[in-house]
A and B are shown apart, each in its own frame.
Chain A
Amino acid sequence: MRFLNYLINGISLGSVYAIIALGYTMVYGIAKMLNFAHGDIIMVGSYAIFCLMSLTGLSPVVSVVLAVLICTALGITVEAIAYRPLRGAASPLAVLITAIGVSYFLQNMALLIFGANTKQFTSVINMEPLSLFGGSVTITGETIVTIISCILIMVLLLTFINKTKAGQAMLAVSEDQGAAKLMGVNVNGTISLTFAIGSGLAAIAGMLLSSSYPSLTPYTGSMPGIKAFVAAVFGGIGSIPGAFIGGIILGIIEILSKAYISSQLSDAIVFMVLIIVLLVRPTGLLGKKIQEKV
């Protein structure tokens, strides 16, 4: 029973990682860049929902929809200003460093606008916790909603990529930007669309993250962002089901190592597992091995 409780806690933490990892992996899979600012776009999404709900008194659903729009706009803007001009740069490091810069920029802007004081996020999920086995095991409403959203988003993304024209364009861009361009695919537009979707997902991730862990500061997104990145690599970066599985497994490992080994060492253990997985399977659990043709 105790183990079951830990397991459920792990799944609930993992589901938050998973939903953030979806955004990471989506952008990486198509644009082949690590958007380290993803965690901070999540933070912006949380602040947007917080402000819309507490200042203008809008209903949670409307606030979330508006926050998705705000984050989408932010994602497109960041991509257009900071990433697109560097896409042709000689070293892929340039974009990576810029992404870290954008991350700090967003954090400090939030610090300037909202201040360093913690804000308490009111959960937008109004659902009674689920009690099992006569109350000895409870699953919070947030966990249930997060897992369902994760699966739903995963299915939607896969359908979108495989069944629509824009999705096919994304696949083409992810495989070979140059060839896609020659075939008449609008590469810049496709990558913008990828960022738009990724950032819109970030707003939803922000809503779920802050509903589960309600204290909101300008740094709220950074650590979960890094953990989710690890989850994405763990599951095979670029693979959408991989991000989901990676997130859940990471959450479970973290909670179980806290519970049975040491609450201080859990991060060390998580990263050790990552290293082992990468040694055995360099592309992650579900990562595709891409053969370089010479």
Chain B
Amino acid sequence: MKKVLSMVLVAAMTMSLLAGCASNDTASASTDSSTTQAQADSVDTSDTSADSTDGAAASGETFKIGGIGPITGGAAVYGIAVMNAAQIAVDEINAAGGINGYQVEYNFQDDELDNEKSVNAYNNLKDWGMQILMGSVTSGCCVAVAAESAKDNMFQITPSGSSVDCITNPNVFQVCFTDPNQGIAAADYIKDNNVASKVAVIYDSSDVYSSGIYAKFAEEASAKGLEIVSAEAFTADNKTDFSVQLQKAQENGADLVFLPIYYTEASLILSQADKMGFDTKFFGCDGLDGILGVENFDASLAEGVMLLTPFAADATDDATVAFVTEYNKRFGENPNQFAADAYDAIYTIKAVLEAGNVTPSMSVSDICESAKSGMTSVSIDGLTGLAMTWSADGAVNKAPKAMEIKGGEYKLIQ
């Protein structure tokens, strides 16, 4: 009896191991086919950009943009969104005549959220002939790849690697806000729009993202004269009970609680505040994006919660509507902010290449030098921000978009 039971248990564990591995090798090869199709679609584009097109058509030269991100594993949601959205952007650009009259080839490689695999993917892409890199999607991988791309002086733009370490090299630029910049943007937004005058903060001191935002938020708040009445931390090991943090905020008369944290803890804070009858405004960063996706979540708790996030799928401007419709049509779901960042990244590449009048025959390093100087002069109206500009250190300047949760949906505050 004992033996039978233990055999069953062993069998069950083995099965679960197998089940875990099964879904791995599916998505990595799927990107190339559509690029070649896009090339075939747009042969007759010579009228858009007069002088260079003939040469391009004759020699068959193309820009080769590589992408790296996790399309399997724990952060697959982010990588797939970036891969898909960048594909949409590339197809649109090719259909409209390419960049400087040259078609764009796009190749996206999986890094499984692993730094070493990200560097391998980078080397694979170099063998393929990549001239410009859009990636990596996550901060850790991006830092690893940036060390390599700096050696090659390859122009690199990351859609979503938000750590400041991603952009220490001069050849790397970010589309998303850096973590500290979110803190500054949040303090500015609260002060400039008179959202509140007395702010309490609850942050996770054991998390780089959260404590990074808090540090800059506090700095900017004191510079701007925004009063922080209480700043209470919690840690990864102590994140179920927030009664003290909330009570301190309430006692100190906070009219807004700033939550630079992820939505799992935020949902607990909201329900505890509700239970203790603390009626206040909550304000968060992009980590709160997703709170409405918590299964069985009582959306009335989040009513009126404000968050700074670069992109809302329900925004009504033409560009967003067109992008969301196209994304839905192709991939059957609403794009998230990572998708929007990637879409903007591709169009940013297009803009800097056009500003520098770059051609594919130039060397990788020459393209990079031209693009680097282009980055500091272009201004992009993208999905994740209007009039985005970049400083030479690689960080983006853009006005964050503030959303408010109303009636169970993210609504853009106009």
A binding-site residues for B, Cβ under 8 Å: 2, 5-6, 9, 12-13, 50, 54, 80-81, 84-85, 105, 108-109, 112, 117-122, 129, 138, 140, 142, 213-215, 217, 223-224, 254-255, 258-259, 263-264, 266-267
Contacts and interface: CB of A to CB of B under 8 A. Distances in A.
Given A6-B247, A9-B247, A213-B268, A119 B296 contact: yes
A67 B234 CA distance: 32
Contacts of A254: 238, 241
21 contacts: A9-B241, A9-B243, A9-B247, A13-B241, A81-B9, A108-B16, A109-B16, A112-B16, A112-B20, A117-B294, A117-B295, A118-B264, A119-B296, A122-B298, A213-B268, A213-B272, A214-B268, A215-B268, A223-B237, A264-B235, A266-B238
Interface in B217-244: 232-235, 237-241, 243-244
Contacts of B268: 213-215
Interface string B244-285: 110110010000000000011101100110011100000000
B95 to A, nearest CB: 37
A215 B232 CA distance: 21
A89 B314 CA distance: 62
Nearest to B236: A223
B33 interface: no
A263 B294 contact: no
User: Which of A118, A259, A266 has the most C-beta atoms of chain B within 10 angstroms of its own C-beta?
Assistant: A118
Nearest to B247: A5
Given A120-B297, A259-B244, 6 more contacts: A112-B20, A118-B263, A118-B264, A120-B267, A223-B238, A259-B247
B294 A119 contact: yes
**Closest 9 A/B residue pairs (Cβ):** A9-B243, A258-B244, A120-B297, A119-B295, A120-B296, A213-B240, A118-B264, A263-B232, A264-B233
User: Which of A121, A122, A138, A264 has the most C-beta atoms of chain B within 10 angstroms of its own C-beta?
Assistant: A264
Contacts of B235: 264, 267
Nearest to B8: A81
Given A50-B296, A54-B296, A81 B234 contact: no
Contacts, number: 96
A39 to B, nearest CB: 12
A2 B252 CA distance: 12
A21 to B, nearest CB: 16
B50 interface: no
Contacts of A117: 293-295
B277 A118 contact: no
Given A54-B296, A120-B298, A214-B268, A263 B245 contact: yes
Contact of B19 (A12, A112, A138): A112
Nearest to B74: A116
B244 A255 contact: yes
B243 A255 contact: yes
Interface string B61-78: 000000000000000000
Contact of B5 (A50, A80, A215): A80
A contact patch SS: helix
B151 interface: no
B208 interface: no
A254 B84 CA distance: 47
Contacts of B251: 2
A112 B22 CA distance: 13
Contacts of B238: 223, 254, 266-267
B330 interface: no
A61 B294 CA distance: 24
A215 B244 contact: no
Contact of A129 (B244, B275, B293): B275
Given A120-B294, A214-B271, A138 B277 contact: yes
A13 B247 CA distance: 14
Nearest to B206: A264
Contacts of B6: 81, 85
A80 B8 CA distance: 13
Contacts of A223: 237-240
Contacts of A12: 243
Contacts of B13: 105
B205 interface: yes
B2 interface: yes
A229 to B, nearest CB: 14
A142 B295 CA distance: 22
Contacts of A119: 294-296
A107 B2 CA distance: 24
A210 B153 CA distance: 53
A215 B294 contact: yes
User: Which of A2, A6, A9, A84 has the most C-beta atoms of chain B within 10 angstroms of its own C-beta?
Assistant: A9
Contacts of B294: 117-120, 215
Contacts of B293: 117
A264 B202 CA distance: 11
B295 A255 contact: no
A85 B243 contact: no
Nearest to A8: B243
B18 to A, nearest CB: 12
User: Which of A50, A140, A215, A223 has the most C-beta atoms of chain B within 10 angstroms of its own C-beta?
Assistant: A215
